[in-house]
A and B are shown apart, each in its own frame.
Chain A
């Protein structure tokens, strides 16, 4: 199963490629743009998507910074942090907008935000999530359940 791991660091790709070798091949994308480029050249069975991208260069973040600045009373620092903290949702929207129906597994605890998750799921299916404390085994199960329904 080919999985595209989209994260700003390398923690997930490092851990997953170490512990889940059999049956999986992992490719890392460090930003939304890189993810779209890879999705355009390779076929993946699933995307494993981190939510927070606070180590990504600002010009590589998806989302409208001007709108975000207005949302935070003209504060560009909070606006950027907002784009970083929720970057995964913009990347997901961009993937769908580019016409890719690849299943996406979020690494984010939506358990405390059920309404928000309902909205995302309704717009961007097929999607699922695993909480941040999920280990490689749980991630593997969730990926298989998502990609091979």
Chain B
């Protein structure tokens, strides 16, 4: 409904005909319009002034003159011109918009008030008045906004309505009137329960609920620090001031655990964590501080700085939001608005930046930074979206009627004044619709619609329209280049590349330079030279400076290639032999374990490190990255490029672990050839090579399929293969045969008295080590026992209730005089054989004790980790 109303106000009113003017005035006016459309506002101003001197009563010329003056940046003159038609609705609307954008909301509100009388059928004036009043008098803004809401056709989801509501609510909050802010939100939530804008309003409501929660916590749960704790906090602050963040953190971590409700402690801890590199911890701590004291501006301000400084731009929007929360918090210095503006600008939110900096210059006009901010604001006001340019009237195609021709002009003007406002963009589309129906092959109209669709975020539709215009009038380089850009933004790099090729062939300078750059990055300098030759022989667009730079780079690469050719030829001649030898020399992990069985522990440790620190922590995100690429979201891929391929990334850490394994091999005299001779690490090495090769694609936002393939190799096959290796290296069965073999090896006489459980366990130990332990324990018992006495071996199992882990208990019982004790073992007052067994048990994470055992004189009890059997064993 509102779109229609606005369309009526902006578009349905016909452009005043110049036919009624005398020929000279008409000619001047049309020339002024042409100059304005061609981006020459100063020249247009002269023509429009001349028109008004000849016919001062013509309001359309006043509006055109005001817009031209705005375009030159002469705001004061534009204001004066609009002011001449104080009782013309269009002039009043233009004047109010100008005043609002110039940071004069009180004046704007007054003009909107006048506009309400001039255009009583248009309630939008009431909404705009309340928007202007929000910066001046929140109570009055609230009252006016509620008048607007009372109109029956008002819809909360209409453009600008929810934003106005939120602006008024924020104005209440800035004025400290939380009750009135909450009342307005409640009113909106209750009146439009099904509106899409409910999400933002509910978020606002949630914020008020948080305030209530904080108030409750302040009343009942926020115990003050005692004297000792205050001393600790002071000590930590001193350490922080002295630059010793580690010491500060040691004091603050337990203090925070004991006093979870004290924001001050969390805030100091955030500082200490940030200084010691624990950024997520710092973010969490300061976030908690903000929740505990949401009215304290310093906490969101600190959070904004952490997010801005440590995440390489990934969380700039969140940083800007936090800075905004800081700025609106009661008691915040006006400088907080300056920072909020800076962060909003960095995050690309020009509207928020403008609003924040307007607050800043109003609150601190004398601040040294205010001059720069005003300059920025003034520059920002003048920015207009680049308008599509229509050909001169004389170029009107014969199959396009006068009415369609004028309507196309009107759509262009509306687009030019839309400022990305969806309602105005739709009004332009409505104006253009009859043209498109009447003259579907009118290229200019097709492109105007494409530009409008693009501004409305309908990238797919815009692309289809540009393609339609190319079908009518093919081979235009600027349109092909634009399509390349749109395809890239839509996440179709292949189609974008194809468009670049077409644009280059059609003579687009930008496309030729892009092609040359791509060729150079792939070390194809001759191709680059060809593209640049085409550029210099008369392409349109593109930077000549950049072209010269690329030409120099191409020549440099060509010289380099010539120089290296001879060396490469030599290398190629010998490469096959070196490759063949390299693949066959050395062995895999099994070769190392057969030569040096004791190295299995290190192999298992390094394998676990790769599995845990590289695969589990990093590469598991690859599938999600691929999904995001499919959706056209390049953010996660850029993140993955840093995290996986960047310095200290997953690829680098994996190769460090491989180097450690190779060093382990060298220390045992084994040359490891893991890439070609090992079934576990060979595929992993090749998969990591592919991951490293993906970096450029990830940064360019493409390669979803390859990302998914590498993910499968690493996170499924690689992860499981490492698990099997670790598992295989660290378990040994214990049964009657194993014990009898050890009995025999120990030289013991007769038969052991065996007591075994029904289900025989696996011991978490290398099999050869378990045998050594059993042999030495049996030998020790046999040598101490009188002839003919018994020796028993019992196997049992114990469970740990907390960790859920089981241990295998092996008791070697004898009837020898009791000279051995746990203390003697710990103190190493034992023979060499038993000492070896103790070392092996300790390394396997086990223990050894001497205990009483009924029916025997003693039992040497060994407890070792139990390994579980899995389906893979079967």
Contact = CB atoms under 8 A, between A and B. Distances in A.
A34 interface: yes
A132 B616 contact: yes
Closest 4 CB pairs of A and B: A10-B280, A132-B616, A37-B260, A119-B804
A34 B257 contact: yes
Contacts of A36: 257
Contacts of B802: 63, 89-90, 93
26 contacts: A18-B636, A29-B284, A30-B281, A33-B257, A38-B260, A38-B288, A52-B612, A59-B254, A73-B838, A73-B842, A78-B842, A86-B805, A90-B802, A107-B616, A112-B723, A112-B868, A112-B872, A116-B805, A119-B799, A132-B612, A133-B716, A134-B620, A135-B620, A135-B715, A136-B621, A137-B624
A144 interface: no
A109 B288 CA distance: 31
A82 interface: yes
A93 B727 CA distance: 27
Contacts of A10: 278-281
A40 B799 CA distance: 31
A109 B872 CA distance: 14
A112 B802 CA distance: 18
Contacts of A111: 870
B623 interface: yes
Contacts of A41: 217, 221, 260-261
Contacts of B627: 137
Interface string B605-639: 00000011001111011111001000000001001
B841 A73 contact: yes
A82 B715 contact: no
Interface in B785-839: 799, 801-806, 825-826, 838
B847 interface: yes
Interface in B243-260: 250, 253-254, 256-258, 260
Given A10-B278, A71-B863, A137-B623, 5 more contacts: A13-B280, A72-B846, A73-B846, A89-B804, A116-B804
Given A18-B636, A135-B622, A135-B623, A123 B801 contact: yes
A120 interface: yes
A136 to B, nearest CB: 5
A125 interface: no
B870 A133 contact: no
Q: Chain A's interface: helix, strand, loop or mixed, by majority? A: helix
B867 to A, nearest CB: 9
A34 B256 contact: yes
A80 interface: no
A29 B257 CA distance: 10
A78 B845 contact: yes
B367 to A, nearest CB: 36
Interface of A: 9-11, 13-15, 18-19, 27-31, 33-34, 36-38, 40-41, 52, 57, 59-60, 63, 70-75, 78, 82, 86, 89-90, 93, 107, 109, 111-117, 119-120, 123, 131-137
B540 to A, nearest CB: 42
A133 B253 contact: no
B281 A82 contact: no
A127 B261 CA distance: 28
A9 B719 CA distance: 21
B314 interface: yes
Given A73-B838, A86-B805, A14 B280 contact: yes
B621 A15 contact: yes
B848 interface: yes
A134 B715 CA distance: 8
Contacts of A52: 612
Contact of A73 (B288, B716, B847): B847
A133 B715 contact: yes
Contacts of A74: 826
A114 B870 contact: yes
A9 B617 CA distance: 10
Given A132-B612, A133-B715, A72 B847 contact: yes
A19 B838 contact: no
A90 B800 CA distance: 11
Contacts of A116: 803-806, 868
B617 A115 contact: no
Interface residues of B, number: 58
A20 to B, nearest CB: 9
Contacts of B287: 27
A117 B639 contact: no
B310 to A, nearest CB: 10
A84 B609 CA distance: 14
A13 B279 CA distance: 11
B571 to A, nearest CB: 40
Contacts of B803: 86, 89-90, 116
A115 B806 contact: yes
Nearest to B620: A135
Contacts of A29: 284
Most buried by B among A38, A57, A70, A136: A136
A114 B806 CA distance: 12
A28 B281 contact: yes
Contacts of B253: 30-31, 34, 57, 60
B280 A73 contact: no
Contacts of A28: 280-281, 284
Contacts of A60: 253-254
A13 B716 CA distance: 23
A38 B257 CA distance: 9
Contacts of B281: 10, 28, 30
Contacts of A19: 621, 624, 636
A116 B848 CA distance: 23
Nearest to A7: B280
Interface in B218-261: 221, 250, 253-254, 256-258, 260-261
Nearest to A111: B870
B611 A132 contact: yes
B732 to A, nearest CB: 16
A29 to B, nearest CB: 8
B723 to A, nearest CB: 7
Contacts of B624: 19, 135-137
A21 to B, nearest CB: 10
A120 B804 contact: yes
Contacts of A57: 250, 253
Residue of A31, A63, A73, A111 with most partner-chain B CB within 10 A: A73
Contacts of A38: 260, 288
A109 B623 CA distance: 19
Contacts of B727: 112
Nearest to A93: B802
Interface in B272-289: 278-281, 284, 287-288
B78 to A, nearest CB: 44
A100 to B, nearest CB: 14
Contact of B719 (A90, A123, A133): A133
Contacts of B719: 131-133
Contacts of A134: 620
A8 B279 CA distance: 12
B284 A27 contact: yes
A130 B250 CA distance: 33
B259 to A, nearest CB: 8
Given A13-B280, A82-B845, A33 B254 contact: yes
Contacts of B278: 10, 30
A112 B869 CA distance: 7
A74 B828 CA distance: 12
A131 B253 CA distance: 30
A22 to B, nearest CB: 11
